[in-house]
Amino acid sequence: MKISNQTLYNINKNEYHAQQESTLKDAMEMGLTEDEFYLICNKIKKIPNKTELGIFSAMFSEHCSYKSSKKWLKTMPTKAKHVIQGPGENAGVIDIGDNLAAVFKIESHNHPSFIEPYQGAATGVGGILRDVFTMGARPIALLNALRFGSPSELLTKHHVSGVVKGIGGYGNCIGIPTVGGETNFDKSYNGNILVNAMAVGLANKNRIFYSAATGAGNPVIYVGAKTGRDGIHGATMASTEFTDNSSEKRPTVQVGDPFTGKLLLESCLELMSTDAVLSIQDMGAAGLTSSSVEMASKGSLGMYLNLDLVPIREDKMTSYEIMLSESQERMLMILKPGSEEKAKSIFDKWDLDFAVIGEVTKTGRLILDKDGFEACNIPINPLVEDAPEYDRPYEIIQNKNTIKINELNINYTVDKILAKIFENPNISSKRWIWEQYDSSVMGDTISSNGKSDASIVKIHGTENSKSLGKGIAMTTDCTPRYVKSDPINGGMQAVCEAARNIAASGAKPLAITNNLNFGNPEKKNIMGEIVGSIKGISKAASFLNTPIVSGNVSLYNETNGKEILPTPVIGMVGVIDEVENCLEMNAKEDNTLLVLGQSENFTEGWIGCSIYQEIENKIIDAAPPPVNLEKEKKIIDILLQLHTKNLLTAAHDISDGGLLTTICEMLFKNNLGLNLNLPKSLLKSDSKDPILHSWCFGEDQGRIIVATDKIDKVNLFLKDSNLDYFVLGKTNASNNLNLKDITTICISSSKNLFEKTLPLIMGKHK
C-alpha cells in the first residue's frame, strides 16, 4: 500500500485510533476472555489493532462461533436422502420432488427485541428472509415462535404489542405471508423475551446459491442499503446476559427497512436468474465481518476490501464501525468477472446501492484498506477454525416425580377447569396477534393461523388438470415446561408434536430447523438443559427421519442471573402432494370423532407437568408425559394412511390441555355438539372425580383426534392396524358437549372465553 501525503492528510482521527494496537482491556470490553485475547495474538503473531480485535471478538462471540454448543450440535442427525444442504449455510435445503427445493431456517432475535421490541422483531424477520433468498429461493411463508413474560406485567404488554407490530411491519410490507406460529407466556421470560422467526422459501433444486468464495481476482460486490452506525457489535450483545442497565444498549439494536428489503429481494432474485452470481452471503449478525470472513473461509481463499468504497450513510465512519455495523438489507456477492455492468443495471433499476469493493485473493488473509492505510491484515483461518470450542461441564436433571392422581386435592368441576383452560393465555386464541399479520398475500395460503394443525402454502405453479398443486406444511412447536422438567424427554416431545401437527394437516413430515434458546451455558444445569434437549431432539428426529437442516442457538437468555425456561423450538416442514387434500382441525356435523393412540381401557391420564396441574394444584414439580417414539411414528403412519384412503374429514393433535380441550377446539368453528363416550369405569364419576379429570385433561403423548364420515371403513382399517383407538362420539348441531350425566359444556360460551382472553389482556394497549 502506497501512502502519499494526500492520503495521510485524509485519515480521520477516529480511524487513526481504530488502527492503533489494542489492549487486553479492549478485548474484555468487547466480550473476549483473557485466554481468548492471548490466543488471538498467538495465532496472528502480532497484537491486533482495534479493528482487527473487533473482527475477532465478533467472530468469537457465542452468536457467531457457537462455542458452547458446537460440540453438541455436531451430534445432531443432519442427513437423509432428501437433504440437499444441511446446517452450515445460510439456510437448510431439502428436495421436495418435481425439481423443487424447500429452503428454510429459524433464527432468534431475542436480545434486541427485549430492548426495542418493534425494531428487534422486524429485523429478525428481515434477517431470516435474507437467509432464505440468499440461497436463491423466493420466500413463500413466515412463521414465528414467541415467548413473553407474565401477562400481568405491564412490560409484557409493551413487548407483545411491539413485537407483533414489528413482525407484521416487516412481513406485511415485504409481502410474504405470516402463516403460523406459537405464543406463550411465562414469568421466566419477564426479563428475556424470545422472538424466533422462521422463513420458508422455494427454489429450483439445481439453482441453489452458496456462500463459498470462488476464483481469486473475482470482484466482491456490495449491494443493498448503505452502512450506518446501527447495530455495531450486535452479535456481541446477543452473547451476554442482561442486567438492569440493558436498555442502555438500545443503540446496538439494528433498524429494519422492509421497503429496502423488498427491493433487495426482487433485485437479488432478478440477478440470480442470470449467470452472474458465483456466491452470495447476506450481512446479518456481525455484518461485513462475518459475511466476508465466511465467504473467504468456505472457499479457502482470502479477501481484499477497500472500505472507502463501501456505501456509507454517515460521515467519517471508521474501519471498525464499517466492519461491525449491523445495518440491515445488505448483501455481499462474488460475481463472474465482466458481469458487473449487467448486475449494476439491475440494482440501478431498483434504486439500490451497488459497489465493487474488493476482490477475492489467494492470500488466505483478510486485508482491509481505509483512508489509504491498511486497517486490517489478518489470516482468515484462525477467525473460523480457531474460534474456541468449549466442552462445558453439564448436568442433565430429569425430574422423575410422578403425580398420584388419587392424592390430588380437587378444587374444581370439569366445566370450571375447562373454562380456566380457555382463559389461560397459553391456550386461548391468538387471533389478536395473527390478525395483525398479512397471512394471505401471494395468494397461495391454503391454511393459516390454526385452521389446521400445520400451516399450508401452495407451491406456485404446480397446479395441473388433476390437482390445485403441491403444498408445503409448516409448524413451530416447543413445550418449555416439559423441557425444564426433563430436557431429553422435552426435546423428543417437541419434535413429535411438530411431526403430529404436520401429519394432522395431511402432510408428510420431512425436516427440521431448530432454535435453541437457553440461559447461561456456563452454569452446569443450563448446559445440562442444552445437552439434554439436543439428545432428545436428535433421538426423535432420527427415529422419524426428519433431520435437522438448519438452526440457530441463542444463549445467555438471563437477566440478573435468572434464566428463561429452556426453549428448544422445533420448526418443521412437510409436503402435501395435493393441497386440496389438506386436513382442517374443524369438525363438521354428523362426523364421528375418534382418538388414535388411546384405548378404551385407558382411564388414568398423565397430569404431571400439565396445564391442568398448573390450574388445580400450582405444582409443576413432576415428570412430563413420557414419549414413545414407536407409537409416535405409528400414529403418523396410520393417520396418513387413513387420509390417503380419503376417510378423514378433520384431525387435531392432542397437546396442552388434553383430550377435552382438543375436542372443544374441534367443535368451536361450527358450534357443534357431541355426546361424549366415556370408558365404562368413568360412567359413574362425578364432576370432581380425579380419575375423570386425568382422563379429560391428561397430556399423554402420541394421540391425535380424527373426524370421519365413514366410521365403518375406519373401524375396519384400524382393527387390522394394531393401534389403540377409542370412538368419542358423533358430532351434532346442539352446541353442547355432554359428558353423560356428569356435566354439559356449552361450546359457544367456551369459544367466547377462548376468543376474549388475549384481547382482554392487551386491553387498550396498542
Nearer to another protein, 19 or 445 (CB): 445
User: Is residue 29 a contact partner of residue 53, using CB atoms and an 8 Å limit?
Assistant: no
Q: How far is the CB of 330 from another protein (least distance, A)?
A: 17
For 147-182, b/e burial (b = at least 16 CB within 10 A) is: bbbebeeeebbebbbbbbbbbbbbbbbbebbbbbbb
Binding piece for another protein, criterion CB under 8 A, among 42-50, 241-249, 500-508, 579-587: 579-587
Residues pairing with 706 in the sheet: 594, 651
For the purposes of burial, counting CB atoms within 10 Å of the CB of 733, is it exposed (0-12), middle (13-18) or buried (19 or more)?
A: exposed
Site for another protein contains 446 (CB under 8 A): yes
Q: Does 583 bind another protein (CB under 8 A)?
A: no
Minimum CB–partner distance for residue 349 and another protein (Å): 8
Stretch of residues binding another protein (CB under 8 A), selected from 198-206, 555-563, 577-585, 673-681: 577-585
Residue 441 binds another protein, judged by CB under 8 A? yes
Closest C-alpha among 480, 418, 413, 474 to residue 665: 418
- The least distance separating another protein from the CB of residue 462, rounded to whole angstroms, comes to 13
State the cell numbers at 100.
423443487
Q: Which is nearer to another protein, 504 or 611 (CB)?
A: 504
Q: Which stretch binds another protein (CB under 8 A): 51-59, 256-264, 393-401, 587-595?
A: 256-264
Q: Which stretch binds another protein (CB under 8 A): 173-181, 507-515, 659-667, 731-739?
A: 173-181
Minimum Å gap between C-beta 226 and another protein is 15
Which of 104, 335, 284, 278 is closest to 203 using CA atoms?
Answer: 104
- Look up cell 485510533; give the residue: 17
Which grid cell is 593? 370423532
Nearest to 640 by CA among 730, 509, 511: 509
- H or E, element range at 574: strand 567-576
Residue among 632, 18, 590 nearest 320 (CA): 18
State the Cα torsion 704-708-712-716 to the nearest 10°.
-40
Q: Considering the complex, what minimum distance in angstroms separates the CB of residue 650 from another protein? A: 15
Does 197 bind another protein (CB under 8 A)? Our answer is no
380 and 302 in contact (C-beta within 8 Å)? yes
Using the minimum distance from each CB to another protein, give the nearer residue, 410 or 441: 441
Cα(654)–Cα(501) distance, integer angstroms: 9
Which of 106-114, 221-229, 443-451, 475-483 is the region at the interface with another protein (rule: CB under 8 A)?
443-451
Q: What percentage of the chain's residues is helix, strand, coil (to nearest 5)? A: 40, 25, 40
Rounded least distance, CB 439 to another protein, Å: 6
Q: Rule CB under 8 A: is residue 173 a binding residue for another protein? A: yes
Q: How far is the CB of 77 from another protein (least distance, A)?
A: 34
When the beta carbons of 257 and 563 are compared against another protein, the nearer one is 257
Site size with another protein, rule: CB under 8 A: 33
For the chain, the straight-line distance linking the first and the last C-alpha, in angstroms and rounded, comes to 56
Stretch that binds another protein, among 257-265, 388-396, 417-425, 504-512 (CB under 8 A): 257-265
Note whether 751 binds another protein by CB under 8 A: no
Per CB under 8 A, 453 contacts another protein: no
Q: 29 or 463, CB closer to another protein?
A: 463
In angstroms, the Cα distances linking 337 to 217, 237, 322, 682, 684 are 8, 38, 25, 77, 82
Task: Kindly identify the residues of this chain, within the stretch 401-440, that bind another protein according to CB under 8 A.
Answer: 434-440
Applying CB under 8 A, the span of 118-126, 259-267, 285-293, 737-745 interacting with another protein comes to 259-267
Find the shortest distance in angstroms from Cβ 466 to another protein: 15
Parallel, antiparallel or unpaired: strands 592-596 and 725-732: antiparallel
156 touches another protein (CB under 8 A):
no
The beta strand positions in 380-499, using DSSP E, are 445-447, 455-458, 471-477
Respond yes or no: is residue 109 known to be catalytic.
yes
Residue from 41, 150, 175, 637 touching another protein (CB under 8 A): that is 175
CB of 350 to another protein, least distance (A): 7
Q: Point out the catalytic residue in the list 82, 109, 159, 652.
A: 109
Query: In terms of Cα–Cα distance, which of 504, 448, 507 is closest to 706?
Result: 504
Per CB under 8 A, 263 contacts another protein: yes
Q: Between 184 and 260, whose beta carbon lies closer to another protein?
A: 260
Judged by CB under 8 A, does residue 649 bind another protein?
no
Task: Select 438 or 616, whichever has its Cβ closest to another protein.
Answer: 438
584 forms part of the interface with another protein (CB under 8 A): no
- Strands 471-477 and 743-746, how do they pair? unpaired
* Closest by CA position to 194, among listed 560, 655, 620, 553: 553
Does position 458 interact with another protein (CB under 8 A)? The reply is yes
Active-site residue, 63 included? yes
Q: What are phi and psi of 109, to 5 degrees?
A: -140, 55
Q: How far is CA 437 from CA 121, 163, 522, in A?
A: 13, 11, 38
The residues of the shown chain that bind another protein, judged by CB under 8 A, are: 165, 168-169, 172-175, 257-260, 262-263, 350-351, 434-443, 445-446, 458, 468, 579-580, 582, 766
| Residues identified as active-site | 63, 109
